[in-house]
Chains A and B, each alone.
Chain A
Amino acid sequence: MTKQALTIDHEACWGCRTCEVACKQEMNAPDGVRLISVLEEWPRSSDGKLDFQFHVRMCRHCEEPPCAEACPEGAISKRADGIVVMDFDRCVGCKECIDACPYEAIDYDMSRGIAQKCNLCHHRVDKGLLPACADNVCLAHCIYFGDPAEMEQKILEKKKMRRGWGETIPKAIAYSKGS
């Protein structure tokens, strides 16, 4: 079966957070429950300079999902296409999955007393639609959905292209980033 995954080109993300609201519109998760969220990061580059970028926090749909292993109710399972689905109806709210997730990608919904995470809009995917956040809402066009290897390749090409016009600039004033 074809693998389906959501891949984010973090370098391109502007932090506009439209993906978060597209998710809200689709899933109507209650206040405080964020199935996708955009966080600020302050990594230092190799020369010690501070950088500023965004990181999108959401379920990674792991190869061997620790949340599925941790769930005593068997409410989380990985499908053949790679999507890790949490069955909200079977969740009893024990929070084991929340503790098990290394990416802090599972939230607790106090209003329903259950855990919630991104199910990659499998209800849309199964009908031939794209996940809400990946359906061309992102102004950076940095959210990709499809075969993961293919998407990685696409992102690599994009990165190359972003540094593209270099050769048209006279050598004397070609600058590297941050110089």
Chain B
Amino acid sequence: MLAKVRTFALEGVDGVPVTVEVDVRRGLPAFSVVGLPDRAVRESRERVRAALANSGVNFPQQRVTVNLAPASLRKTGPSFDLAIAVAVVAADGGLPDGDLRDAVCGELSLSGEIRPIRGALAMALAARRGGVERMLVPVANAPESALADGLEVIGVPTLVELLELLRGDRTAEPAVPALAVDGADHDGPDLADVRGQADARRALEIAAAGGHNLLMIGPPGAGKTMLARRLPGILPPPTMAEAIEITKVQGAAGLARGGLVTERPFRAPHHTISASGLVGGGVPPRPGEITLAHYGVLFLDELPEFARTALEALRQPMEEGEVTVVRGQRAVTYPARAMLVAACNGCPCARTAGDCTCNDVDRIRYARRLSGPLLDRIDLVCELGQPPPPVLVGSRPVVEGSNRVRERVETARRIQDDRPSGGRIQVSKAAAARAQLWHLSGRGQDRVLRLARTIADLAGADEVEGDHLDEAIGYRMSDPLRAAA
């Protein structure tokens, strides 16, 4: 007898529908899986056999053939276990209907328990797109999958319960989506912890308001990493659609913590990372750090120490907001809309300006290690000095916290959203004259103008004024970097 069960494979960060077909007929007892399975999928035979036995179901002593359709798609991972087990039972006549209406995803343990899988939300979203009404998933994944609106998701703990549910011997409540608590207050690191560095704080605020990429230059211990970690906290909280996308991506990468991710991700890969680690790759392809930082912040500390190939690989995703990885016969597209924050020392000796022993040639060589085209995509450069000494006795100065800064950023972003896109940037007469004086040309002018527009938005100004332009110009690159760019 033939049975069909719908399930989903993970391709990139999206679910792809897969139909598990099982044919049970007389012949020598055998259990084979076809349809481009990888090792983990082929091993599922053993898990399915043991899980069924331990759940009190007799494994058919006949010839069992499992096909994973479409047969051209390479299947990886253990998430097909559950669908195969259910289809085997259905094909053996153990369920009222051979053609199941529900979709099933999950990994089995030998005891028949259902284990969580990667990409539960991506699969649920694909199920909704494919017109599935009810989806049965591991209990641990249920709150995440239930975020797919309009799809009934039921979390199931064991194979026994799942079979009872399908036979109609048991009813279950649909899972409740794990929505955000109240996203208003951010519980990550707070800007109030940063002493001094007024200039860098301002740069961070502008970067957040305009989504500009930022490069911080300063000696070790100046607080570059500390500041970068506080950027997600001053960005507006993700919208519902963004949060679902973030959850989907993190879930597909196996980073999900079981509910809606309401904070923007912050990723700080080590500088020894390879190009494929940064933008995605490998066999089978895995998302890179820029995808994991989707809608959040990608922080590259010690920027010149990164492999040139890795930095070069970042250019296209930064431009297009997504990256396509081609491996063998597959092309996978990952979303990659992250803000870039980079940090480096001012010179190779990494001392403060007064103690520095580097000469121009050393500095230029250090700056050259940065990829010019990557620097082209960085709008703001700010230099950090040593922070003021800690206040050990007496009251500490009161510093503005992340919440206050975020309010201003949100106001500026609202102004930007209300402005028709694609229009020319309105510049006051005084500012236009200033631009002439600076001999700004082409791309440099464009970059400075966009930055000045953001600064004007923070100030609530309709037109870019001279002061806004001056400040924007103050954040452009210093000489050795410019020489490299």
Do A and B originate from a single complex?
no
User: Which residues from chain B sit less than 8 Å from chain A, CB to CB?
Assistant: none
User: Which residues from chain A sit less than 8 Å from chain B, CB to CB?
Assistant: none
